[in-house]
Structure formats: structure tokens, C-alpha cells
Amino acid sequence: MSAIIEIRDVSKAYGGVVANKDITLSVQQGAITGLIGPNGSGKTTLFNSVVGYHPIDSGSIQFEGKEISRIHVQEIARLGLIRTFQQTRIYKAMNCVENMLISLPHRKMRFLESFSRNSTADYENADRLLDFVGLYEKRFLKAGSLSFGQQKLLEFAMALMNEPKALLLDEPTAGINPTLINGLIDRLLRANREFGITLFVIEHNMRVIMNLAQKIYCLAHGELLAEGEPEAVQNDQRVIDAYLGAH
């Protein structure tokens, strides 16, 4: 297994506030990697640096060996590195199927192909993935009329539709009905196993990340605090202290 995302010595400060300081971590191809940490520890800042939402102060971020810390959001997305948003972003005025069809991998399309209509295979694929996340019944409803949890599932399905190489998920279970969380974990695992998509997940919920990830990094105060197997991180005294605020 080789690293698909390599983050080396990345620092990012907002004015005087250091959000990330010399962070080095790597995400292995085909694995599920978790990123945890208390509120304000710089998880989302690191995510945004990776997907190109702001420039970084120093360090390097590589995706499949290509430096991406200087290029823009859409160029990164076109390399096959897709993210979902903490505050779900879907096209609320369109129905689920339309949402799915918009998410077709445009990077794999030649310019003239974008002038063609969606093929039957595209529709079938959309239906299959909506079925996969359990929204098949609601596929003709306006996405805006779905519940928050369903919208999150839809966004996840849209990301799968895009056939990414790696998927960055920002708190996939936040705001989701606890009874649905197990189903979501199951689907994330299946997406990783069946579609071969590398997952890099920010998660607040320890139980979720323990069941999901093979390797976990923990941030605190903008610095990398611990890394390793789920059990090791879970039992790391520093991680427990950070979460309990005993600093």
C-alpha cells in the first residue's frame, strides 16, 4: 500500500492564530483514515488546505505524487479528490436524480460529451447509488424537502457518483439521527470495500471512528498529538486529556 495523500509540515495561521502547525500525515491508498480532535483543534482547517479552500503558509500537500497546495479547488477536484461539506451542500431546488446526474464525473468527460444527454446507464447508475444509500423511494422529491440526515446521505451518494479516487468526509455523522449512524458506517465501509475509494474522515464521534478507520490521527491545538491504530489512539492518555480538556 502506498500513500495517496501526503501532507508534510503544513502550517496555516489566521492572523496571529495558528490553526495548523507543522502537520505531517499520510493517507494510504484504499484505506480509511480518520482525523479526530476536540473542537477548534484545526481539523477542518487542514481539510480546507487539502482541498484548496485557502493557501497554506508552508509545507507541502501531495495527491498521487502531485503537489496540490498551490492549485485551486476545482483543479484538485478534477484530480479525483472530492470532499463533502460539514454543512451539507446539495442542490435543493432539484430532485435527487437531478442532483445525482449533475455529479457525473465531468473530469472524465470530453468537452463535446457535455453537450450530450445523460445515457440510460447514467440513470441506472444514479438509481443504483440512491438505492445504495437508501433514498431510492425519494428519488423524485426535491432535495430541499429531505431531512438533514437524508440530505447528508444524498451528498454522499453524489460524491460516489463522481467516482473519486479519494473522498474527504467532514463529520459525516454530525446531526444525523443516532439510529441511522450504524447504517451510515456500514455504507462508508462498503463504499471503501466495493468501490475501492480511499476515505479520509473527520469525525467527532469516537465510537464511529473506532469502527471505521484503520489508522487515526489526532489533532489538538493545531498540532499532531497522536497517531496509530484505533485502539492505541483510544487508550493514549494525551488523547483522553485533550478530549477532556485537561491541558
Q: Is 234 exposed, middle or buried (0-12, 13-18, 19+ CB in 10 A)?
A: middle
What separation in angstroms does the CA of 58 have from each of 10, 19, 20, 111, 213?
A: 6, 13, 10, 36, 28
Point out which span in 134-142, 190-198, 200-208, 238-246 binds other proteins (CB under 8 A). 134-142
Under the binding rule (CB under 8 A), the answer on residue 166 touching other proteins is: no
Cα 196 to Cα 194: distance, rounded to the nearest angstrom: 6
Residue 26 grid cell: 499520510
Nearer to other proteins, 78 or 204 (CB): 78
Point out which span in 16-24, 70-78, 181-189, 199-207 binds other proteins (CB under 8 A). 70-78
Nearer to other proteins, 107 or 238 (CB): 107
Selected from 87, 120, 179, 237, the binder of other proteins by CB under 8 A is 179
Residue 32 grid cell: 480509511
Under the binding rule (CB under 8 A), the answer on residue 93 touching other proteins is: yes
Nearer to other proteins, 181 or 210 (CB): 181
Cα 77 to Cα 149: distance, rounded to the nearest angstrom: 24
Are 227 and 218 in contact by the 8 Å Cβ rule? The answer is: yes
# binding residues, other proteins (CB under 8 A) = 51
- Binding residues for other proteins, rule: CB under 8 A, are 51-55, 72-74, 77-78, 80, 82-83, 85, 89-95, 98, 101-107, 109, 111, 113-118, 140-142, 145-150, 158-159, 162, 177, 179
